[in-house]
Chain A
Amino acid sequence: MVETREESAERKWVGKSIQRIEDPRLLLGRGGYIDDMRLPGMLHAALVRSPHAHARIKSVNVEAARRLPGVTAVVTGEEAAELCNPMPDFGPDPTRHEWRCLAKDKVRYVGEGVAAVVAESRAVAEDACDLVEVEYEPLPPVVDPEAAMEPDSPLVHDALGSNIAYEKTMVFGEVDRDFEGADVVVSDHLRWHRSSGQPLETVGAIGNFDPGSGMMTIHVNSLTFTSYLFMVANTLKVPSNRLDIHPHPAGGSFGSKFWAVKVAIIAGMLAKHTGRPVKFIEDRVDNISNSDHHGSDRTYQVELAATRGGILKSLRVKVVDDYGAYIQFGVGHHGNALAQAVGPYRIGSLQYELHAVLTNKCQQGAYRGFGSEVQNWVLERMVDLMARELEMDPVELRRKNFIQPDQFPYFIPNGNLYDSGNYEGVLDKALELSDYESWREEQRRLREEEGRYVGIGICTAQERSVFSATEFWFWFDEPAAPVTSMPESVTLDVDAMGNITATLYSCAFWGNSPETMVAQLVAEEFDVEPSQVNVVYSGTNQGLPATGPGGSRFTVMIAGAVQGASKKIKDKAFKIAEHLLEAAPGDLEWSEGGVAVKGSPDRRKELSEIAMAAHLFKHSLPDEIESGLEADQVYDHPYTTMPSEDRKNLGVFYPFVGHACHIPVVEVDIETGKVSFLRYTAVHDAGTVVNPRSLNGHIIGGIAQGLGTALLEEFVYDESGQLLTSSYQDYLIPSALDVPEVVVGHHETPSPYTVHGIKGAGEGGRMMAPAAISSAIDDALRPLGVRVRELPATPERILGWIEAAQAQSSS
């Protein structure tokens, strides 16, 4: 592995909090979101959704709906199965697990689409939905994942013959020996309930099919994994080179627009069917009940082994994950968990037992952390429990077990690599910024003098970034497609005036700052102002391979692409300058946005002069120089190694590993169960930071989401599989009064393997906050003997735990 660190790199733009390039248009109300776009002759679609968790579709009568004035078409699930092939998925054997854009034969969760209506307006389409008569034969719902695993359980997918989509136990290192040799073993049962990204903008698409050329154009607010779009073309029954997907800025994603192709496929299918452009924008109920992306829903049995002196030895995890009705990404969520399964600690061995179960609920997809945030919570819960068992200070127990700065690069037991880090540095900074010691004093005082339940929490955990493709298939002994590419690309084009356009190839904007980042990165390479760089997004038909944001990969990957493309352009610029300045190749250097003769800075050519020559004066230049000054760069994952055959070693698959320490101070009102914040400190190490203000915004926003996960947000399904939280009246998103002021700090340990030493950081806030807040609640309620073992810790749950603890202590 080549180390790329430039030790004392002086950077002009990387590391500066420049104002975001994206913002003026957003502030003016000209964001260009998908629902803002209208095409001539465009129709609107709405879905008829299932009211049943599990039912056979006996008949669908669309006559009345079709007769409604303004209705152009009604497509049932059965018709959709004629118009489209099944949805692409990376789950179990496609012959035994079929996912369709509209349900055919049977519905598998409340909210699943059974028919689509296309009409002159959304309102008419919705009216017509009410006129569609569906006759259902209810089937026994599969709701509890543990019961779903029983052999006599009703089946979500009959062809699969079981509700267990996948199960495997992986053992890394000498787990049994380490447990036998341990002085202390703590074990616990932990429960993480289902929530999701819930951006304020839902998923939407406009399909537009040209029967003359056979070209299918789809405008979307979700575009990732362009190398896999041939699968979408296959679903839509169009040739892969006749599918062109155009990205629009997205009003937030947090995972929910990461490969969200169902909406695009429905819009494309309806456009092809009607011969008119069709817009389909989910409403909020669609987005909650029928989204592609509910978050993790897991039940854990965990054991952690240590010596009496507090050295952590081994971790055993058994997890049952309720995937809902379909399993589109296989069990990649657990690959994410494995990437940092032992956290920042020198835990020598690991056992991971996974049961991925199908039930009659909306399917899982991605939510900020992609399942690794749950592992952080679980591990930190266990470390806190161990501290309690050993009667050790939780800070000291952590400190004692940290991987040390001189141990990097560090391979964890399953083979993944942590590139770099300084965990004590982060911890010390967090303790200092949070006034930890004086808060401990204050806590004592408030408890003794005022009887208040104040707690100080701590979480020291990892943020893996930049996945490689192996994590999608290393679970399988005989993977169907052991793919290895996960690229990102850019085109840089210097026009005749010397202005630079950067073209991106995925739906890179969903609230992150790709244009700002790319402008800063390009400005850094060429030593120009970021304002000289214009950033645009390409459709896929003439596009280069791209994967898009997700798994905190975008900034790292695009920095690699930008550096590569810049080098190609600068190489050519040097050749032209040699000619223009009549200088020898070695005599030139890049300086202040142009090329100068070393030692005589006045003999120079500006980038604009070189560009003008490149574009307009080809025949004045040496023969081998072609017109123009542009370059593509496809940047592949910089550090991937293959898993071993026996999967005792999973290879390097998620290697740029950031770290953070969060220290919240909370107060719990034991009468109402309400948790309020007195202070919140977060210190992150994301390697070299490109734009500190933007990163801080993401950290704080991620903390707000993690707070939602910890205290408020849950999709509740009752025993019959009814979704009880299908609007924002019941699904509670943190408001300005729920989220505390956060003090953010950084400790930068540059990655030795990435351009500028950047590590991904977009998910970190949410990956830490649930663990940190749980720890703080524990600490506050310690006198009452309460521990958080289930999230969200809603007021009702907290009161229940207090009651149970009191009942136990008085019995």
Chain B
Amino acid sequence: MSEHRRIAVVVNGTPYEAEVETRKYLAEFLREDLSLVGTHIGCEHGVCGTCTVLMNGVSVRSCLVLAVQANGAEVMTVEGLATDGQMHPLQEAFREKQGLQCGYCTPGMLVRAYELLEENPEPTAEWVREGLANNLCRCTGYQYIVEAVLAAAERLRGSSVAEGQPFEPATSSRTNQEA
């Protein structure tokens, strides 16, 4: 019952070749074969968006795409966002705005938000909400995620080269206090 095929994919800029079961999903391939466990699985039904990755620049639900379908493709996962020890502005903004709580939906959200900002660098809050509507988050109620995406957009517009800050394991810098 288990048929195998050889595939070649580029993930986060690194080329991989692997022998995979034809029925294996891309999400499992990323997590199990490549140990890229940042891509999470929420429903395995294509509904929640937790497993979102980019394939050739377009978001897909990696729980529905077979690994063999990714043959020859370029895939980007959450692990591809930070470069040289610097968080992507989206990651920084999610941190500043507390656009996450349990963090489980976060990789899918970040990847989808990345795609949204590639498409439209000057989004409105409504546009962002609509764009994120197929990625479920059970923790945040979305408000701070939307704020984070808008803040990241602004930062990305400010610098044509995405400039990140080095991430520290723990910092005590303060965000705007609301009370």
Interfacial residues, chain A to chain B (CB-CB below 8 A): 16-24, 26-31, 33, 35-36, 123, 127, 197-201, 249-254, 283-284, 509-513, 519, 523, 529-531, 533-534, 689, 692-694, 696-698, 700-705, 727-729, 733, 735-737, 739, 741-742, 744, 746, 765
Give the residues in chain A near B24, CB-CB below 8 Å. Answer: 123
Interface presence of B146 (CB below 8 A):
yes
Within 8 A of A (CB), among B20-42: 21, 23-24, 31, 36-42
Report the minimal beta-carbon distance from B65 to chain A, rounded to whole angstroms.
Answer: 16
Asked if B139 contacts A741 (CB within 8 A), the reply is no
Q: Taking chain A's interface residues, is the majority helix, strand, or loop, or is none over half, making it mixed?
A: loop
Report the minimal beta-carbon distance from B15 to chain A, rounded to whole angstroms.
Answer: 20
Give the residues in chain B near A694, CB-CB below 8 Å. Answer: 98
Give the residues in chain A near B105, CB-CB below 8 Å. Answer: 200
Asked if A693 contacts B98 (CB within 8 A), the reply is yes
Report the minimal beta-carbon distance from B177 to chain A, rounded to whole angstroms.
Answer: 5
Closest to B126 in A: A737
Asked if A28 contacts B38 (CB within 8 A), the reply is yes
Closest to B103 in A: A26
A697 CA / B101 CA spacing, docked (Å): 8
Report the minimal beta-carbon distance from A362 to chain B, rounded to whole angstroms.
Answer: 18
Interface presence of B50 (CB below 8 A):
yes
**Residue from B21, B141, B173 in contact with A701 in the complex, judged by beta carbons closer than 8 Å:** B141
Report the minimal beta-carbon distance from A456 to chain B, rounded to whole angstroms.
Answer: 21
B54-62, B67-75, B76-84, B155-163: which lies at the A interface?
A: B76-84
Interface presence of B172 (CB below 8 A):
yes
**Residue from A252, A529, A728 in contact with B45 in the complex, judged by beta carbons closer than 8 Å:** A728
Give the residues in chain B near A739, CB-CB below 8 Å. Answer: 141-143
Q: A201-B40, A511-B139 are in contact. Are A28 and B82 (CB under 8 A)?
A: yes
Q: Taking chain B's interface residues, is the majority helix, strand, or loop, or is none over half, making it mixed?
A: loop
Asked if A29 contacts B79 (CB within 8 A), the reply is yes
Interface presence of B120 (CB below 8 A):
no
A735 CA / B130 CA spacing, docked (Å): 9
Closest to B79 in A: A29
Interface residues on B, range: 35 or more
Give the residues in chain B near A696, CB-CB below 8 Å. Answer: 178
Asked if B138 contacts A29 (CB within 8 A), the reply is no
A768 CA / B49 CA spacing, docked (Å): 28
A729 CA / B46 CA spacing, docked (Å): 9
Q: A27-B110, A727-B45 are in contact. Are A251 and B40 (CB under 8 A)?
A: yes
Closest to A742 in B: B143
Give the residues in chain A near B94, CB-CB below 8 Å. Answer: 23, 27
Asked if B23 contacts A701 (CB within 8 A), the reply is no
Within 8 A of A (CB), among B83-139: 87, 91, 94-96, 98, 100-107, 110, 125, 129-130, 132-139
Give the residues in chain A near B1, CB-CB below 8 Å. Answer: 127
Give the residues in chain B near A689, CB-CB below 8 Å. Answer: 179
Asked if A29 contacts B141 (CB within 8 A), the reply is no
Give the residues in chain A near B42, CB-CB below 8 Å. Answer: 200-201, 284
**Residue from B40, B95, B125, B169 in contact with A20 in the complex, judged by beta carbons closer than 8 Å:** B95
A22 CA / B101 CA spacing, docked (Å): 9
Q: A18-B173, A284-B44, A698-B101 are in contact. Are A29 and B39 (CB under 8 A)?
A: yes
A453 CA / B78 CA spacing, docked (Å): 44
Asked if A28 contacts B167 (CB within 8 A), the reply is yes
Q: A33-B104, A703-B141, A727-B43 are in contact. Are A17 and B171 (CB under 8 A)?
A: no
A26 CA / B79 CA spacing, docked (Å): 11
Asked if B174 contacts A27 (CB within 8 A), the reply is no
Asked if A692 contacts B178 (CB within 8 A), the reply is yes
Interface presence of B14 (CB below 8 A):
no
Give the residues in chain B near A29, CB-CB below 8 Å. Answer: 36-39, 77-79, 107
Asked if B175 contacts A17 (CB within 8 A), the reply is yes
Give the residues in chain A near B172, CB-CB below 8 Å. Answer: 18-19, 523, 529-531
A22 CA / B105 CA spacing, docked (Å): 15
Asked if A19 contacts B129 (CB within 8 A), the reply is no
Give the residues in chain B near A737, CB-CB below 8 Å. Answer: 129-130, 133
Give the residues in chain B near A283, CB-CB below 8 Å. Answer: 44
A-B interface, 8 closest residue pairs, ranked by CB to CB distance from nearest: A29-B38, A251-B104, A26-B103, A511-B102, A704-B141, A700-B141, A728-B47, A511-B101
Give the residues in chain B near A249, CB-CB below 8 Å. Answer: 102-103
Give the residues in chain B near A28, CB-CB below 8 Å. Answer: 38, 78-79, 82, 87, 91, 167
Closest to A689 in B: B179
Asked if B41 contacts A35 (CB within 8 A), the reply is yes
A212 CA / B42 CA spacing, docked (Å): 37
Give the residues in chain A near B77, CB-CB below 8 Å. Answer: 29
27 A-B pairs whose Cβ atoms sit less than 8 Å apart in the complex: A16-B174, A17-B175, A18-B173, A19-B96, A19-B172, A20-B95, A22-B103, A29-B36, A29-B37, A29-B77, A30-B37, A33-B104, A35-B31, A35-B41, A199-B104, A200-B40, A200-B42, A200-B137, A200-B138, A252-B104, A254-B138, A511-B101, A513-B101, A693-B178, A704-B142, A733-B136, A736-B130
